[in-house]
Every structure is written in C-alpha cells, then in structure tokens.
Amino acid sequence: MSYDFEIATRRPPGPLQPLLARIGIEARLDGTFEPERNVLVTRLGDPERTIDVEGPAGYEPEDLVGDLDEAFATAAPGASWICGIHLPGGYVEPVDRWALDLAIELARDGDGAVWDPQAEQVVWPEHIPSGAVRTNRAQERAPTVGRQRIVLAWHVPQARARPDLPATLLALLREHLPDAVPGRFGRTEPYQHRLERDGDSTFSADWAAEAAGQQLLTWDGAKGAWPGMVRFRQGDGRRLQPDLQIRIEGDDAARHDPDSADRLADGFAAVADALDAAYGQAHLEPTEVELVRGVPLVRFRDLIAQGWAGLPWDPTWLTWFGRPYADRLRAGLDEFVDRETSRGFLIRMGPLALPREELRASFPRLPPELVQEEWFAVSPTDGRPIPRLRPAAEIPSLDH
C-alpha cells in the first residue's frame, strides 16, 4: 500500500536539493523536478529509501480551487501550483518522517499547504500568526486559565562558562533572586542533596559531572515554588552553538504587584549581565497542563534543539540581548530599552509581567534572519502533533 502527500502553493517551489539540505537529508535524485515531470529521491543511508516526487503542475487559481478539498483550499488560498510525494509501501514513522518534512519544505518554499488525502486533513500549516516569524501551533488546545507561573531563562555560551559558574550563579541568586535559590538537588531523583546541608561545593560537583556528560542538572526551590535546571547543550558541529540553558520557574507575583515586578526585573538583568548571557527571557506561562489533541504539550524547543538555534520567536515580558546580539539590535530597539550595560541591554514590555498572548501586538519585530522558527506538523499515522524547529538563517558565533 502506498501513501501520498499533496502540496498546493502560490508559486512554484524551488529545486529539491536545497530543501533536502535544510532538513539534513543526503539523497540521490533521478529525474527532474519540473512541471509535468517527476523525480525519484533516494535517501542515502541504512536502509536506503526511495520516494517519487511529482513536479509542480500549474493552474489558474480559480480552476485549481474547485479540485481541492475545501479545507485544503482554505489553507492555501490563491494556490496555482500543485505537486505531490508518493511513498511506495506506505508511511512508517519515524523512518519516513523526512518525506513529510520535505513536503512541508515544498509548501513553505512555495507559500502553500500540505494535504494528506488518506486522512483527508491539512497536515501543515495550521495557521496561528506570530509577531516575529511565520509559525503555527496545533489546534484543539485546552483553554489556558487560572494561575500563571513566571519562567526565567538565560542562555550562556559554553565558551564563556568558567569553572566557578555554579558558585557564581548561587551567589547571584542569593543576592538578587533569593526565592530562586535551590533547595534539594541531585543528578537523579529522588534528590540526595540539600544545599543548606551539603553546601555549594556539592552543588558545583554535581554541576561539573553533568556538564562533562552534556546532560542536565535539576533542583527544587528552597521555598518549593521555584524549581530550576541547567541543560548543557553541545551544539551539532554545524550551525547550532553549544550553550548552557539555565531555567527557573516561580510564582506569578510579578503579574500583580509592581514592587515584585521591579525586583524580578532587577534580578533577572543582574544575573544576565554577570553571567555574560547571550540571551535571556522572562515570561508568564499557564500552570495547567495544556493539551493538543489530548497530548500534553511540552515547550519542545528546549527538548529537541542540541544547542543555541537563534533568537526565539516568542514575545516575552523581559528580554536580555547580550553579545553578539546587543550591537546588532540596539539601534532598532531603542524605544524599548529599559537599561543597558557594557555586555548587553534589557527590554521590558510593561510594568507588570504579561502572558505572551497579550504581548503579540506590541512586541518589537526582530530581524527574521536571526529568529528560529517553530511549528507543529501532524503525524499522518495517528494525528499526533510532531514538533519541528528550524534554526535561524543566521546564527552568529558565540565563541567569545
């Protein structure tokens, strides 16, 4: 049994090789990707896999729309080109996921959409506009109501991470964000160590052990409500830059209390500056588990990126731009700058912490070439959301 994807676009998509390179696929092509022709694409590896890609056929938009399913036509309004991908023997995850990725790249390149005729559904995109780059999120989300939590995150290039970094972080938290000082911690759960009992040196030792293995260290807050983690990301040897991602979650006092918001902004900026972070953000997230088609939604960027992939597209209440982004962005963000140092600057979107949804209209547009892109595709086998991330077109070096 075979499996097919159809791609409708507003303009003819470009050559296949650059699109395959974007998704990291090395392939051999037999044929020509041209109107009314087809090309056999063989993914090299073990095992090899060959799919048939039909070249784009041109139509008048009014003629094509009548031939498409209504949902497909709605997802690609004004489409005048259609091409297809044929998978002999059917679609099997995860080995055939690259074929779906190629379909998405064809749709993106030609400004269109991907249709799964077997499931009779659009698998990309499911449009939700963003303020920075084109992105989408899967539909059928659970409502996000109730309490929020503040999330603080700093990205420190590994080249700037000195051996005393864990001790430095603890000192900074004690001085500027005392609620965020770790309580219990350890390399496995249940946690074996307690900071006040076992001391900073034990925390530093666990940090060093996880850093050596490029893993992560997690902890519970001393006050219970401020858990944290540091993830050591090694990069991919090509574009993604190695970094340390430090993340701490706290209560939502900054959403309601101006003094709490000011203290949080002061502490967040002080930590970012002292750690020489390349980027940092503070934003509100719902405390409820959000579901996508019944599946718990995780902020997948942190899970699938092997290193720094460029600036996130999400609007944030507090954003720190350090080296090398500070020099590049300072002039264009002048009206939003709250404070700056020799290492970077902070923009603050309002006196109180705000959820992302309330910032989309006002958050400044960042240069698209510096921004990563995130979206959900839909698995053609079971309809589950498949997280996708494309690194920014330009990722400056973080080596100094």
Inter-CA distances, 195 with 250, 327, 399, Å? 18, 38, 32
Q: Which sequence spans correspond to the domains of the chain?
A: 3-124, 148-373
Residue 224 pLDDT: 60
Q: pTM to 2 decimals?
A: 0.68
CA torsion sign, 148 to 266 to 152 to 250? negative
Each residue's pLDDT expressed in tens, for the chain with a length of 400 residues: 678 999 999 998 889 998 898 788 889 999 989 887 889 999 987 788 999 999 998 888 887 877 788 888 888 888 999 999 999 888 887 788 899 989 999 998 888 999 988 888 888 885 433 322 223 222 233 333 346 789 999 999 999 999 999 999 999 999 999 999 999 998 877 788 999 999 999 999 999 999 998 788 999 887 666 889 999 998 887 788 999 999 999 988 999 999 999 999 999 999 999 999 999 999 988 765 444 444 444 443 444 568 899 998 889 999 999 999 999 999 999 999 999 999 999 999 999 999 888 888 899 989 989 998 876 667 777 766 666 778 898 999 988 7
Residue 376 pLDDT: 67
User: Quick check: 23 and 99 in contact, CB under 8 A?
Assistant: no
CA torsion sign, 241 to 244 to 249 to 250? negative
Exposed / middle / buried, residue 188 (Cβ in 10 Å: 0-12, 13-18, 19+): exposed
Q: Which residues contact 92 (CB under 8 A, 6 or more apart)?
A: none
Residues in the chain: 400
CATH of the domain spanning 3-124:
3.30.1400
Residue 310, Cβ neighbours under 10 Å: how many?
25
> Cα–Cα distance between 363 and 329 in angstroms, integer?
14
User: Quick check: 350 and 318 in contact, CB under 8 A?
Assistant: no
